[in-house]
């Protein structure tokens, strides 16, 4: 009796083309592209402007919306002055894309302690970029659970920290608050040192 071996190549795994976080004017806050579909910086900016303009008038504040745009599936959601987008090929599963978007949105909400707005996002840009890295690698979807994503980001940001509660297996808000304060203080100190060294 022979065994069949399946080829689980990149083409057979759920994947995304990009993950975008734009502000309320369509300008970049944090973006990551996993595809050569937009080969130049100008092409990427043009795509971001177009997708922002197309989705601006929709009601994506209460729940995620999905649309076809230039042959791509785009799932998006808005909160305050931030617009979250996940783009994939038109052959990808919409439910998987929606779970990627929700995982990204919820992880950012956890990491920013429910203060999800542009100012806070820019102050914690490193955490948001780490968040995107935990969600997808080379476009292949790795994780969609916000607790896991935020936990890995927090662990990577501060060595030896354990942001998960052993009792309930979920995100412990008291620990995360302390951890994020530590991260913020460390970043503020680093910024001060950099500013002083540049002024010398």
According to the model, what pLDDT value does residue 166 have?
Answer: 37
User: What span, in angstroms and rounded, lies between the C-alpha atoms of 19 and 40?
Assistant: 16
CATH code: domain of residue 123: 3.30.450.60
- The order of strands in the sheet holding 18-23 is 28-33, 18-23, 82-89, 72-79, 65-69
Query: For the segment 16-67, what is each residue's pLDDT rounded down to a tens digit?
Result: 999 999 999 999 999 999 999 999 999 999 999 999 999 988 877 778 899 9
The one-character DSSP state at 9 is: -
> Do the domain assignments include residue 146?
yes
For the whole prediction, is pTM greater than 0.85? no
Distances (CA, A) of 129 to 33, 86, 139: 12, 14, 14
In a domain, 6, yes or no: no
Euclidean distance between CA atoms 148 and 30, whole angstroms: 20
Cα 138 to Cα 32: distance, rounded to the nearest angstrom: 10
Per-residue pLDDT of 99-111, as tens digits, reads 999 999 999 998 8
Task: Read off the pLDDT of residues 112-163 as tens digits, 9 standing for 90 and up.
Answer: 888 888 999 999 899 999 999 999 999 999 999 998 898 888 887 665 344 4
Whose tokens are 């008038």? That residue is: 57
> Does some domain include residue 5?
no
How many domains are contained in the chain? 1
Domain of 36, in residue numbers: 13-199
pLDDT in tens, 62-84: 788 999 999 999 999 999 899 99
Compute, in degrees rounded to 10, the torsion defined by CA atoms 84, 87, 27, 33: 120
In a domain, 7, yes or no: no
Half-sphere exposure of 75 (CA within 13 A, CB side): 23
């Amino acid at each position: 009796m022979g065994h069949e071996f399946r080829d689980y190549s990149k083409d057979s795994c759920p994947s995304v083309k990009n993950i975008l976080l734009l502000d309320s004017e369509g300008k970049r806050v944090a973006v990551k592209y996993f595809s050569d579909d937009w080969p130049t910086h100008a092409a990427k900016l043009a795509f971001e402007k177009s997708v922002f303009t197309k989705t601006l008038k929709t009601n994506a504040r209460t729940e995620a919306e999905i649309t076809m745009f230039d042959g791509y599936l785009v799932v998006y959601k808005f909160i305050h002055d931030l617009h979250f987008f996940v783009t994939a090929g038109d052959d990808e599963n919409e439910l998987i894309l929606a779970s990627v978007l929700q995982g990204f949105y919820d992880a950012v909400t956890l990491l920013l302690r429910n203060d999800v707005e542009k100012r806070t996002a820019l102050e914690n840009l490193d955490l948001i970029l780490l968040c995107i890295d935990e969600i997808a690698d080379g476009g292949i979807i790795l994780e969609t659970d916000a607790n896991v994503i935020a936990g890995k980001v927090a662990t990577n940001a501060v060595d030896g920290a354990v942001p998960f509660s052993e009792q309930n297996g979920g995100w412990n808000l008291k620990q995360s608050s302390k951890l994020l304060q530590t991260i913020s203080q460390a970043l503020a100190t680093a910024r001060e040192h950099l500013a002083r060294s540049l002024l010398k």
